[in-house]
Amino acid sequence: MGSSQEEGLPCQPSQPDHDTGGHGGPDLEGAGRVSTTPGPPGLLTSHPPADSDDTDATGPPAALLEGLLLGDGKPSPHSTRPGPFFYIGGNNGAAIISSYCKSKGWRRIQDSRREDYVLKWCEVKSRDSYGSFREGEQLLYQLPNNKLLTTKIGLLSTLRGRAWAMSKASKAPGGTQARPGASAFAPSPAHPPASLPCRVLRMEEFFPETYRLDLKHEREAFFTLFDETQIWICKPTASNQGKGIFLLRKQEEVAALQAKTRSAEDDPIHHKSPFRGPQARVVQRYIQNPLLLDGRKFDVRSYLLIACTTPYMIFFSHGYARLTLSLYDPHSSDLSGHLTNQFMQKKSPLYVLLKEDTVWSMERLNRYINTTFWKARGLPKDWVFTTLTKRMQQIMAHCFLAAKSKLECKLGYFDLIGCDFLIDDNFKVWLLEMNSNPALHTNCEVLKEVIPGVVIETLDLALETFQKSLRGQKMLPLLSQRRFVLLHNGEADVWPRLGGSCSLRRRLPPPTRQAKSSGPPTPRAPDQPGTRRPVPPPLAPQRPQLPGPSPDPDSTHDGQPQQSGTGDRHPEQEPSPGTAKEERKEPENARPWGGHPRPTPHAPATLPAFRDL
């Protein structure tokens, strides 16, 4: 979680998230198949790969992307220099991304300071990249403030904010009370129409009880409530690969942690930089009764894709299951039996022999559940591709809506986030964390089948939605959508026009310019334009009663306040995870926090005269 790093900002690890152990070599296993994947009609057409993987030539302006998109993928005839160019920072998935771009005739550059790229994909976030980014001309991987979802403190604060907003809305005069037990999904072929309102998720239904150690009143509350009947897990807010994680079982371990945090707080360095010390951690109630596969603990990696931010186009994709090598023992002090990531599993001498059994496909997981638990536990048939899939989609949509009004939006920003879920032995689904820069290595057979497809469709969808937003076209149908499932179509949202105000609704062209949809439109999220969500006052966690929280380091970007954006018509109602095509496979007592407003997105000083959106 939070595995990207920002140069000049509070540092986060530059390695990909903990799926792998920082595998440094290129992903040669999956690279070769990229160029053989046919591109969908209407996107950039393929060209022979460039002779060199690097070029020092100075390319044309970044507005070349407009010519490529509006000119069916061919470089401008007026261009006298080579290009277009793409830049990849780091090794995580680099071979797959590079092969994809070269298949379109793009040329790779190695100088991170160059600004004439059409695509920039970096593991390490840099303030310079966002400062020089030309909206509507370039594609840039990772939203600047994705830490609202991808750090432990950021996600916790974001979910608390949504819980507070929903609680306030339900108590307001005329507020909609959700019916307990009602489905959170809109009508679809798989879900018959329902006349009753949808039930919203409560935070405690999917997110383990969590306390922040960087806030004095929260850590003191935790130290007070701790007893040895429950195991807790302590995690750094922005680490990965299991680094810095430890379990808390005994009173003396908690006393040592308490002394350490107090000592760090008394350190003069803490007062100069209060959010960068060792106390920037969370403690979370450890789920001691996980569902086991042949006696081993596992979790499920899925993907949340933000393909476009103007308008928001949000997608879900299946990933894979990750298993430990050793049998699960809740009393064991060996973390490799508690943490499923590959970095921890590689420490075992058996890993080389058994690594293929540490990653299962979702199909294999579904077969195992059907065989072992279907009849014995009375589960629906194909529980993985029905109940589990829908629950993961619902949780991911809930998290996105919680952060939506605060995420920074510019045409060309896109992001791929890895979401980790754990299933307990009651088949309850828990969200553990969300990771920026998810591992894209292909060091086992299942990953060779999954990762290239995820990366290729991510780029296809980012390009197609960029193109349609630039042209002012309707988003659906999406010709490049294959395995990803549409969770949120933001065309009805209030969102910033290129170089304009964020208070204007997107204007679509006349029907004659719109592509015909081959199926019914995807249900839209219940957002109402023109409303501004009030900034909630800080409230205390419900259990136990605490004083008001201190300022939240993860609620701002680079120290700048963030203005509130779009309000939801019914904050207690979740969006409808739907699909542009038929899917091919699949709290009340929260601890709220005070939010901050988001700056209105603005256009760069000089932009080409694109047609009015």
| CATH number of the domain encompassing residue 482 | 3.30.470.20
Higher pLDDT, 64 or 130: 130
In a domain, 610, yes or no: no
- Which residue is listed with tokens 């990762």? 451
Total domains in the fold of the chain: 3
Q: Are residues 384 and 426 in the same domain?
A: yes
Taking the whole predicted model, whether its pTM rises above 0.75 is answered as no
Average pLDDT over residues 328-346: 78
Residue 180 is predicted with a pLDDT of 38
pLDDT on residue 172: 75
Same domain, 237 and 314: no
Which residues constitute the domain of residue 130? 85-141
282 and 302 share a domain? no
Residues 261 and 364 in one domain: no
| Kind of pairing between the strands at 413-423 and 429-435 | antiparallel
Same domain, 432 and 339: yes
Check which CATH number belongs to the domain holding 257 and give it.
Answer: 3.30.1490
Quote the pLDDT of residue 241: 61
User: Do residues 359 and 419 both lie within one domain?
Assistant: yes
pLDDT per residue over 380-396, tens digit each? 999 999 999 999 999 99
pLDDT of 191-208, one tens digit each? 333 333 457 899 999 999
**Sequence-ordered alpha helix ranges (H) in 146-279:** 147-150, 152-171, 203-206, 216-225, 251-266, 268-272
Confidence of residue 270 (pLDDT cuts 50, 70, 90): low
Span 498-545, pLDDT tens digits? 544 343 445 444 444 444 433 333 444 444 444 444 444 444 444 444
Q: What pLDDT, on a 0 to 100 scale, did the predictor assign at position 79?
A: 47
In a domain, 325, yes or no: yes
What value does the mean pLDDT of the chain take? 73
CA distance 450 to 454: 6
Domain contains 544: no
Q: Is residue 252 situated within a structural domain?
A: yes
| Residues 161 and 235 placed together within one structural domain of the fold | no
**227 and 162 fall within a common domain:** no
- Please answer whether residues 362 and 299 qualify as being in contact, where contact means their C-beta atoms are separated by less than 8 angstroms: no
pLDDT of residue 278: 52
Q: How confident is the model at residue 262 (pLDDT cuts 50, 70, 90)?
A: confident
Asked if 335 and 238 sit in the same domain, the reply is no
Instruction: Answer yes or no: is 552 within a domain.
Output: no
- Residue at which a domain ends, from 428, 457, 492: 492
Cα–Cα distance between 440 and 447 in angstroms, integer?
8
Q: Round to whole Å and give the CA distance between 134 and 498.
A: 11
Report yes or no on 587 lying in a domain.
no
Calpha distance 540→215 (Å, rounded): 12
Residue 16 lies in a domain: no
Residue 280 clears pLDDT 80, i.e. is over it: yes
- Is the model more confident about 324 or about 338? 324
Contact 125, 140 (CB under 8 A): no
What is residue 385's predicted lDDT score, i.e. its pLDDT?
Answer: 98
Q: Tell me what the mean pLDDT of segment 174-194 comes to.
A: 39
* Residues 67-101: tens digit of each pLDDT: 554 444 445 444 446 789 999 999 999 999 999 99
Q: How confident is the model at residue 174 (pLDDT cuts 50, 70, 90)?
A: low
Distance CA 340, CA 355 (A): 12
Show the 3-state SS of 146-172.
CHHHHCHHHHHHHHHHHHHHHHHHHHC
How far apart are the C-alpha atoms of 117 and 112, rounded to whole Å? Answer: 10
- Residues 538-575: pLDDT tens digits? 444 444 444 333 344 444 333 333 333 333 334 334 44
DSSP state, 430?
E
Residue 310 covered by a domain: yes
Could you read off the pLDDT of 11-63 as tens digits, one per residue? 344 455 544 333 333 333 334 333 333 333 333 333 333 334 444 434 333 34
Buried-exposed string 449-477: b where 16+ CB fall within 10 A, e elsewhere: ebbbbbbbbbbbbbbbbbbbbbebbbbbb
Q: Any idea which of 81-95, 344-358, 360-374, 596-610 has the lowest mean pLDDT? A: 596-610
Whether residues 371 and 345 share a domain: the answer is yes
Res 260: pLDDT? 87
Looking at the fold, whether 420 and 474 belong to one and the same domain comes out as yes
Are both 124 and 156 inside the same structural domain? no
Task: Please state, in angstroms and rounded to a whole number, the distance separating the CA atoms of residues 498 and 135.
Answer: 7
Characterise 246 by phi-psi region: left (phi > 0), alpha (psi -120 to 50), beta (else).
Answer: beta
The residue written with tokens 């997608």 in the block is 315
Given a cut of 90, is residue 587 above it in pLDDT?
no
CA count, 13 A, side-chain hemisphere, 576: 23
